[in-house]
């Protein structure tokens, strides 16, 4: 489906990828070659795809030079955060290939992440009319990301994550960038305030659905996931599948399971016990229901946009989030 969307976007997509590549060029061979390697394993590139579709789906149905800029910036920023996350999480593999951190070390991964981040900011600020407005949107996203990461670390240590904490964490760490990509696209085509709010609702709910599905795959995914199954548990993260399973047992049993999670660092075998607990106590079923709720909210938000092929693709993307296996 994503290949078909890229074909639909045509030159707009080619121009976006071209801007991403050109903005990353460097005469430092190690940096240039590493950037090229990262781009060759680009993942779904969902955020810039969504951004361009939104620009086209807004009333008027056009893509401006700023639409290209802001779509490219969303992908640059996304990859910057991944390079930093790999250091924070000590990740050896991403998207099925070794991480920059595992190949060049944590310092190099942070520096290259900084490079991508600065290039995202430069691309946004190259907009003469809207750069100042949109840079504030992306700056909020960076603040959200940092706060979400710190709250997650705090809760991993205390083991007392509840569903409100979880939703705040995944909004900050995932949905906020979806929101920035969508709102900046709407701004790039001078969408009205009601249309911008419809776009915001779509993107936030889509981002939450995306992360719920990702957290489900941490318990049920296979070899194609691009990261080891159970990676979240190894980091003592209490995500929605575990919260769903905990909702079906007594407080005493819940406290015991939370204790197993907080002790995973010293008792790695606890991971299998907790995973079995989730699978045997309806954790995935609970998460699946919430996933459908947020997916449906995302689709309903699109009622605020006129009918178009691009809007239909946005609906399909929401369905993809619910059904993907990686």
Average pLDDT over residues 169-183: 98
The answer to whether the beta carbons of residues 118 and 141 sit under 8 Å apart is no
Q: Tens of pLDDT along 250-276?
A: 999 999 999 999 999 899 999 999 999
In the structure encoding, which two tokens stand for residue 188, read together?
């790039």
The predicted structure's pLDDT at residue 120: 98
User: Residue 83: which of 62, 113, 60 has the closest Cα?
Assistant: 113
Total structural domains within the chain = 1
Q: In this model, does residue 132 exceed pLDDT 60?
A: yes
**Model confidence band, residue 325 (pLDDT cutoffs 50, 70, 90):** low
**161, exposed or middle or buried, with CB in 10 Å at 0-12, 13-18, 19+?**
buried
**Between the CA of residue 126 and those of 65, 70, 194, 210, 246, what are the distances in Å?**
10, 10, 27, 30, 49
- Distant-in-sequence, close-in-space partners of 7: CB < 8 Å, separation ≥ 6: none
**Between the CA of residue 69 and those of 12, 158, 184, what are the distances in Å?**
11, 41, 10
**Between the CA of residue 179 and those of 137, 173, 183, 192, what are the distances in Å?**
9, 11, 6, 16
Q: In this model, does residue 110 exceed pLDDT 80?
A: yes
DSSP output for 143-170: HHHHHHHHHHHHHHHH----HHHHHHHH
Domain range for 174: 2-323
The predicted structure's pLDDT at residue 223: 47
The predicted structure's pLDDT at residue 225: 46
Q: Tens of pLDDT along 189-239?
A: 999 999 999 999 999 999 999 999 999 999 986 544 445 567 889 899 999
User: For residue 105, how far is the Cα from the chain centroid?
Assistant: 24
CATH number, position 144: 1.10.600.10
Q: Tens of pLDDT along 73-90?
A: 999 999 999 999 999 888
With residue 98 as reference, give the H or E element that holds it: strand 97-98
């Amino acid at each position: 489906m994503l290949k078909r969307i890229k074909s639909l976007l045509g030159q707009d997509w080619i121009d976006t990828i071209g801007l991403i590549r050109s903005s990353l060029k460097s005469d430092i061979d190690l940096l240039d070659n590493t950037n090229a390697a990262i781009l060759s394993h680009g993942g779904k590139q969902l955020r810039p795809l969504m951004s361009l579709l939104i620009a086209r789906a807004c009333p008027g149905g056009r893509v401006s030079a700023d639409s290209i800029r802001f779509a490219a910036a969303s992908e640059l920023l996304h990859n910057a955060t991944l390079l930093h996350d790999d250091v924070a999480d000590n990740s050896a593999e991403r998207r099925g290939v070794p991480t920059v951190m595992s190949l060049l070390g944590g310092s190099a991964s942070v520096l290259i992440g900084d490079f991508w981040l600065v290039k995202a900011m430069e691309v946004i600020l190259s907009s003469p009319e809207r750069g100042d407005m949109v840079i504030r949107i992306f700056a909020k996203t960076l603040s959200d990301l940092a706060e979400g990461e710190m709250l997650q670390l705090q809760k991993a240590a205390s083991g007392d994550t509840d569903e409100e904490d979880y939703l705040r964490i995944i909004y900050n760490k995932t949905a906020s960038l979806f929101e920035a990509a969508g709102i900046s696209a709407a701004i790039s085509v001078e969408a009205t305030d009601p249309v911008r709010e419809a776009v915001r609702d779509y993107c936030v709910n889509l981002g939450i659905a995306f992360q719920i599905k990702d957290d489900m795959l941490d318990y049920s995914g296979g070899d194609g996931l691009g990261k080891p199954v159970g990676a979240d548990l190894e980091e003592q993260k209490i995500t929605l599948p575990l919260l769903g399973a905990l909702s079906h047992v007594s407080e005493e049993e819940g406290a015991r399971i939370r204790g197993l999670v907080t002790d995973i660092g010293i008792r790695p075998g606890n991971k299998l016990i907790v995973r079995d607990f989730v699978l045997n106590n309806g954790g995935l079923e609970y998460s699946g229901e919430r996933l459908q709720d947020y997916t449906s909210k995302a689709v309903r938000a699109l009622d605020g946009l006129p009918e178009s092929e691009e809007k239909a693709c946005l609906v399909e993307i929401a369905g993809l989030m619910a059904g993907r296996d990686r």
